[in-house]
Chains A and B, each alone.
Chain A
Amino acid sequence: MTSPPIPTEAPVTLLPSGASPQRPGLWELFIAFATISLSGFGGVLAWSRRMMVEERKWLTPEQFNETYALCAFLPGGNIINFSVIFGLRIRGAAGSLVAVAGLMGPPVLLVMFVGAIYAHYGDVPALRRMLTGVAAAAVGLLVATVAKMAQPLFRSSTITAPLISLATFISIGIVHWPLPLVLMVIVPVSIAVAWARL
C-alpha cells in the first residue's frame, strides 16, 4: 500500500533455502501457531491468513494460497498440514514439530478441561439444552458451507460432480457405510472422471 516490497523486507520464500533475515525462530513459530489456534473458533483458516500474511508478513498472499491449496487435498486437518509444511520450510523437521505442537498443544489441554467439566455436569438439563442448541447452530453452519461449495459445482454443465457428491452423501450420511471402503471406491471414480474431462 505505501511502498513496493523491498528485497530486504521480502517475506521468506517457500523454498527451504538459506538464512533469511526475517526467518522466524522456533519459539516464534510456536507462539505464532499457538496464537492462531487459540484465536480461531470453528476453523482457523481466517486467523492463519491474518497472522501469516498481514501481521508477520511471513508469506505473501500468493504463497499462502499456494501452500493452503496444497494442504487442502492432503488427508488430515488442513490447518494442521499447513503448520507441518510451513514449519518444515522455515526450520526443517524441528520447525514442523514445533509448529504442530503450538497449533495442537494449547487447544488439546483446553479441550481436556472442557471434557472434565462435561464429565461432571453433562447431565444437568440446562447444559444439555444449551449444547443441543449449539449443535443445531453448528449443523446450520455446515449446511451453509455445503450450499457455498455446491454453487460452482452445480453451475457447471456436467452432472457427474453432483452425482459423486450425492453418492458420497447417501453412502456415508444416510446408509452409514465405513468411510475407508466408500472412499476407496468413490475417489478413484472421481479421479477417473476428472482425468477424462481434462
Chain B
Amino acid sequence: MKADGSTYLSLAGFFAVLSLFAIGGGNSAVPEMHRYAVDVQHWLTDQQFGDTFALAQLTPGPNLIIVALIGYHVAGVLGAVVTISAMCGPSCVFAFFIGSAAERFSGMVWHNVLSRALIPVTLGLTASSAAVIAATADYNWTAAAITLATALTAYFMRVHPLWAFAAAALLGLAGFI
C-alpha cells in the first residue's frame, strides 16, 4: 500500500486520540480501530482486520500490539513505529503524571467512584469487541461452535488461551472452517 505524509499523519493523529479514550485496556479500543481503519479509511478489509486481530492474539505481548500490526499493514515498518508510539505516548505521559501524584490520591473517594463508574462501560466495550470481531470473521457452523466451546471452557475452567487457539487453528487447517 502506498504511504505518504498524510497517511502517517492520519495514523499518528487517530491513535494518539484513541490512546486517551482506551479505557479498560487494549481490547476495549478494538471496535473503534475497526470503525476507523475499515469503515472510514478503508485501510483493511473486514477479513484482513479479523486476521490482524487473530495474529495479534498469537503474538506474545500486550494486547495493544495489534495497533503495530495495523500500522505495519498500512505503512510498513515506519507505520508500525508511528502507530504504536501514538497509541502509547499520550496514555503513558498521563500515567506518568498520575503515578507521580498517586500517593496523595490513593484511597480517596473519587478513586472508588471512578472505578465503579468505569466497570460497566468497560464491560459494554469488551462485548462490543466480541461483536465486531465476530462480524469480521467468516462464520460457518464450525466457527460458531469454536466460539461457543471456547467461551464455555474459558468460563468454567482455567485453560491457557494458546490451547484454544491451537485447536481452532487445526480445525481451520483441516478444512472445517
Contact = CB atoms under 8 A, between A and B. Distances in A.
A107 interface: yes
Interface in B32-88: 32, 35, 39, 47-48, 50-65, 68-69, 72-73, 77, 80-81, 84, 87-88
Nearest to B140: A132
A37 B147 contact: no
Interface of A is mostly: helix
Q: Which size bracket describes the interface of A in this complex?
A: 35 or more
A128 B47 contact: yes
Contacts of B59: 107, 110-111, 114
Interface in A118-149: 118-119, 122, 126, 128-149
A172 B33 CA distance: 11
Interface residues of B, number: 112
Contacts of B168: 130, 133-134, 136-137
A179 interface: yes
Contacts of B170: 130, 133
Contacts of B6: none
A78 to B, nearest CB: 5
B61 A38 contact: yes
Interface in A14-39: 14-15, 37-39
B9 interface: no
Interface in B103-127: 103, 106, 109, 111-127
A41 B57 contact: yes
Interface of B: 17-27, 29, 31-32, 35, 39, 47-48, 50-65, 68-69, 72-73, 77, 80-81, 84, 87-88, 90-92, 94-96, 98-100, 102-103, 106, 109, 111-134, 136-139, 142-144, 146-155, 160-162, 164-165, 167-173, 175, 177
